[in-house]
Amino acid sequence: MEQPQSNRNQRRLWQFHGGIHIADEKGLSTERSVTEAPLPSRLTIPLQQHIGAPAKPLVRVGDWVLKGQRIAEPQGYVSAPVHASSSGTVIAIEERPVPHPSGLGGTCVVIRTNGLDEWAKLPRPLDDYSHLDPAVLRERIRWAGIVGLGGAAFPTSVKLNPGLHQPIQTLIVNGAECEPYISCDDMLMRACSERIVQGTSIVMHMLGARECLIGIENNKPEAIEAMQRAVAQSDLEESTRICTIPTLYPSGGEKQLIYILTGKEVPTDGIPAQIGVLCQNVATLAAVADAVIEGKPLISRYVTLSGRGIKEPRNLEVLIGTPVGNLIQTAGGFDGEVSKLILGGPMMGFALDSEQVPVTKAANCILALTREEAPDPGPAQPCIRCGKCAEVCPASLLPQQMYWYARCKDIEKVQDYNLFDCIECGCCAQVCPSHIPLVQYYRYAKTESWAREQEKRAAEHARARHEARTARLERLERERKEKLRRKKEALTSRPTAGKAESGQPGTAPVQDPKMAAIEAARKRVAAKKAARAEQGISPKNTQELTPSQQRQIDLAEQRRQAALAAATDADGEE
């Protein structure tokens, strides 16, 4: 599998399995310099722009907010806060369309901007971070709401806490940007190379990494030169190398780039930290530098607007929450008939149903493709088992087998073929002569697998609760029966005690206080009657009782006996 590549003044490179060569089309958007997108009249800021739990709103409708103010807090460890991208008034907190492959909406905070762009009070800058504990820096990064800006949107503070894995030896900076049309990272490296290197230095300090490898495809000569100058002028010159790698899609995939630069393979279902490596995108590192050194949260990013359906393709620095339609107008609007409007690249992006969806932290490109650029492939044809999909798969999977089992909904069998190692790069679908949308089948299988796993966890949780309740009821029943048994033993011991008083072996009687009081009362009445009889005193009422009086006496005696029995039963239950 190892095929070393030669390159000037750098270490050995490796070639991953598969991959395809595609026309990069990056020149469309790199001819113009980067400018700031105009401030929109309204910002729609989703509460979930990251992997994990959505943020919880901290503001209410009618609140006045400032630029950089936290408007939503994270919920749980794997989450990220959200900040206001500009100053204005909160006019709604409701479901709005958001950029997502499903087309579903999400809860958003809508801000009507006032045009002043007033900043909130920011945390104190940390110019000298070399003496600070990594936990302090992680908390600053978490406060800033930084997530992976390469597309995954995983909370950076979580990723920079490897935990129990082995120490991180190598930090890999991903500047490959391998997907066609996208050039925002290229332009960021040209314009903000010093800021990227500052972020790299901060992360290396946090991880205690010994070396840093910056991977950039060889179709970005200006970015390579800018990064080389920035590294040479920093304190990372001895520990950092700029590695120019061949242009091959998807060399920017995390596992693929790690293998190219180190020759190490990330285990199946594993993460890079298990082999002592951590990978970060160049835009993420620039955001880290802004958060630590300047105290600024993540409220903007570079976005590419490209495709021959755009009049003036370019890169813009965009506030989070800006509607896509505003950016298209800034780029001159549409040019002719647009076949597809895509968020992301042509390989891994997804179609947008509306121009009103907002830009999120994970949005790196907006493509307006013509019919010539994105022709209709026509209906899918039967698989001819040509094997081309397996030849180009960068994860060394068997796409054909995965397709068959996903199609017949045998999810467990798909997982046996390492379904979750698929990075959904689209290489297999690109070369398929039958035009089968293979990636769509894999996405369906993943979603179905997650749903079944969630149902399984819910069923196991319900079963555990049922078993715990059953055990608790059985324990209470055993305790009740044990108490009743002890009471019965105490009661049955009384006749034995009586025999002991008459000269037979036995123990001292244990008499109930209520029964003793009743017995004492009876003895007192009998003693009084005997005393009166000795003195010749007749009873006060010597006349015979009528039937009615006798019935009343009998009823009273029955009530007394019933009350006595109820009292005895209550003592037994206690």
Q: List, in sequence order, every beta strand (DSSP E) within 150-249.
A: 170-174, 211-217, 240-245
- CA angle, 125 then 128 then 134, to 5°: 90
DSSP 3-state of 209: coil
Q: How far apart are CA 419 and CA 443, in angstroms?
A: 9
Q: How far apart are CA 37 and CA 304, in angstroms?
A: 12
| Dihedral angle computed from the Cα positions of residues 281, 30, 245 and 419, in that order, rounded to the nearest 10 degrees | 50
Distance of CA 180 to the CA centre of its chain: 29
DSSP 275: G
User: Pick from 106, 114, 118: which is nearest to 42 by CA?
Assistant: 114
CB-based burial, 519-547: b 16+ in 10 Å, e otherwise: eeeeeeeeeeeeeeeeeeeeeeeeeeeee
All structural domains of the chain with their residue ranges: 1-31+123-296, 388-450
Q: Supply 252's token pair.
A: 């920017």
Tell me the backbone φ, ψ of residue 458, rounded to 5 degrees. -65, -40
pLDDT tens sequence for the chain (574 residues): 444 444 444 578 999 999 999 999 999 999 999 999 999 999 999 999 999 999 999 999 999 999 999 999 999 899 999 999 999 999 999 999 999 888 888 999 999 999 999 999 999 988 888 889 999 999 999 999 999 998 889 999 999 987 756 789 999 999 999 999 999 999 999 999 999 999 999 999 999 999 999 999 999 999 999 999 999 999 999 999 999 999 999 999 999 999 999 999 999 888 899 999 999 999 999 999 999 999 999 999 999 999 999 999 999 999 999 999 999 999 999 988 899 999 999 999 999 988 999 999 999 999 999 999 988 888 999 999 999 999 999 999 999 999 999 999 999 999 999 999 999 999 999 999 999 999 999 999 999 998 999 899 999 999 999 999 999 999 999 999 999 988 888 887 765 544 444 445 545 555 566 667 777 777 888 888 787 777 766 555 555 567 777 777 777 777 777 777 776 665 555 5
> What is the strand order of the sheet 314-319 is part of?
35-36, 314-319, 300-306, 365-369, 340-343, 350-351
Other C-beta atoms closer than 10 Å to the C-beta of 394 total 23
> What is the strand order of the sheet 70-73 is part of?
56-57, 70-73, 82-83
Q: How far apart are CA 296 and CA 298, in angstroms?
A: 7
| Dihedral angle computed from the Cα positions of residues 425, 427, 433 and 437, in that order, rounded to the nearest 10 degrees | -10
DSSP 132: S
> At 366, which helix (H) or strand (E)?
strand 365-369
> What topology does CATH give the domain 1-31+123-296?
Rossmann fold (3.40.50)
What is the pTM assigned to this prediction? 0.80
Give yes or no for a contact between 251 and 118, defined as CB atoms under 8 angstroms apart.
no
Q: How far apart are CA 87 and CA 103, in angstroms?
A: 29
Q: How far apart are CA 291 and CA 122, in angstroms?
A: 10
Give yes or no for a contact between 320 and 361, defined as CB atoms under 8 angstroms apart.
yes
For 392-420, what is the HEC assignment?
HCCCCCCHHHHHHHHHCCCHHHHHHCCHH
**Angle subtended by helix axes 282-289 and 184-191, to nearest 10:** 40
DSSP 237: T
- CA angle, 412 then 414 then 417, to 5°: 115
